Amino acid sequence: MNSKQLIVKMVFDRWYASIKNWDALLNVITDAQLEKEIAAGKNRGIYLLGHLIAVHDDMLLLLDMGDKIYPQLHEPFLRSTDKTIAQIPSAKELRANWTEQCAVLKQKMDHLTPEQWFEKHTAVTAEDFIKEPHRNKLNIIITRTTHLAYHTGQLVLLK
């Protein structure tokens, strides 16, 4: 195993462990609990779920893996704060979106070689990438893993 293969494994081990931690929580939290705020006056569980799907949908663009699956979630869960949009999808619907999205992302991610993970993501220009080679696709996984962990630390409060 060369060093690129090794580090891609390390980063994805953490990504999938973080997805698993989130899923383990989501599976024991009921739809009624998801409607509750994680702390008084803060975001509801259902907002966190929608927000994660919206953020992970953006990963498809950043990783040059095609279009978003759920563009309709951008407005309520990325551009708006919780409890400001009257109509959001149900917990049941968001759970189904999340499961489907995780499968699609995994299938697409599995196709990339370790070398390809070190190629530039779409939000950096080829010119900048020469000077900043850390702005590669693998870095998107690293940053989204901590983002996921941050919100997992909040979802757990509903348990």
- 154 sits near a second copy (criterion: CB under 8 A): yes
Q: How far is the CB of 132 from a second copy (least distance, A)?
A: 10
Q: What is the DSSP letter of 79?
A: I
Residue list 73-92, contact with a second copy (CB under 8 A): none
Cβ distance 78 to 51 under 8 Å? yes
Nearest-angstrom CA–CA distance, 130 and 85: 42
Residue list 47-76, contact with a second copy (CB under 8 A): none
Residue choice 40, 87, 110, 127 for contact with a second copy (CB under 8 A): 40
Nearest-angstrom CA–CA distance, 93 and 159: 20
- 151 sits near a second copy (criterion: CB under 8 A): yes
Please choose, out of 49-57, 66-74, 97-105, 139-147, the segment that lies near a second copy by the rule CB under 8 A.
Answer: 139-147
